[in-house]
Structure 1
């Protein structure tokens, strides 16, 4: 019996397929090539990556209000005058007392003793401060200064106008700071009262001493 070439090829192909097991392809494996393929697989060479540099550290702004960040130190520097009284006054002179209480203390020193020596002004300032601590007078500088019938320069709840550019006022401000910070001892210790030497009020008080044009008592 004569077979055509086409029939012969079909028979051979069928016999070959029946003896070959199907490829077991694992997931992700390379695809298989047919044995008759003339193409060779291209060789894929992985690119050599440069060595990773150290990761950059981002510098974030510091939030001073964060509870995990320590508060910055206070940059305000408090200047403490040193030396003798004259030197301290030179360091602390200013036209601005800083607050209402210091304004009252400086005002009393100015109006009661601006023509006195610095030591005399210091003594007057300490009388105001002593009164605030005595328990017999108001506990604030303004309370002492504006207490009724205590200081003749006071008009109700106000003081006369002050020439704030004058050296006398700047000295009074400096003396007030010295008294407030207790940078110098009181020339008339524990004195609570004073009057000008030209008057004689007849007070029955313990006399502390005389300094300049004032007599001091406690």
Structure 2
């Protein structure tokens, strides 16, 4: 006769064995997932992704690192412009013509053209104010550009019957060691470069204030001992 208790114990043992066999994979699956680090190559955009520990339920949680910052290159066809240089880059920043004259070095060797221009300033206006000297120089510059007179400073200065100090197509001797010549040379450089605007810009004629020729021309200004006309 079969012992019913023995049969029951055997059945229970078999059931427990089945449960243990089925439970082993489940226990293994519930083991924690270890942290995983993924590194991109080192550089300005070095990236590190860390997978946090947790149950193997198929979900991966990435820790927040804050908002991403993205730098985009300029769009095609668009140029990134550098700040424009100052329009007076390399120029002397001065408040008056006197300051500009003081800041202008006396050239060691003037060209023949500037020698003619400075000579005209010296003989026509060396006793005038700096503004008066510049006005005389700018008339000579304007004549050389007008198309109505010779195209060089020397040609304008030595044109017959134009400047009373010219004798036989030559200038009298100049005292190059004097301050008058130093100022005349500086004024010639300033007038040639156009680095200071004169009140008589565009004037082609002038005469001494002590005379009154009937020229019928447009008067621009009187500076010192000269009156200037267009």
Give the C-alpha shift of residue 94 in structure 1.
2.1
Residue of structure 1 equivalent to 2:169: 157
* Residues 121-165 of structure 1 deviation map (CA, whole Å, 9 limit, x = unaligned): 011000000001111000000000000000000012210001101
Q: Normalised by the size of structure 2, how large is the TM-score?
A: 0.58
Give the C-alpha shift of residue 80 in structure 1.
4.5
Q: Normalised by the size of structure 1, how large is the TM-score?
A: 0.61
Residue of structure 2 equivalent to 1:118: 130
Partner SS for 1:184 = coil
CA RMSD of aligned residues (A): 1.4
Q: Structure 1: how far apart are the matches of 2:181 and 2:145?
A: 25
Give the C-alpha shift of residue 115 in structure 1.
0.5
Structure 1 pair 110/82, CA: closer, same or farther in 2 (3 Å)?
farther
Q: Say how many residue pairs are matched.
A: 140
Higher relative contact order by CA 8 Å / sep ≥ 6: 1 or 2? 1
Partner SS for 1:148 = coil
Residue of structure 2 equivalent to 1:140: 152
Q: Which runs of 5+ in 1 are unaligned?
A: 1-78
- Whether the 8 Å contact between 2:199 and 2:221 is mirrored in structure 1 is no
Partner SS for 2:150 = coil
Q: Aligned ranges for residues 45-60 of structure 1 at < 5 Å?
A: none
Give the C-alpha shift of residue 204 in structure 1.
1.5
Q: Which runs of 5+ in 2 are unaligned?
A: 1-89
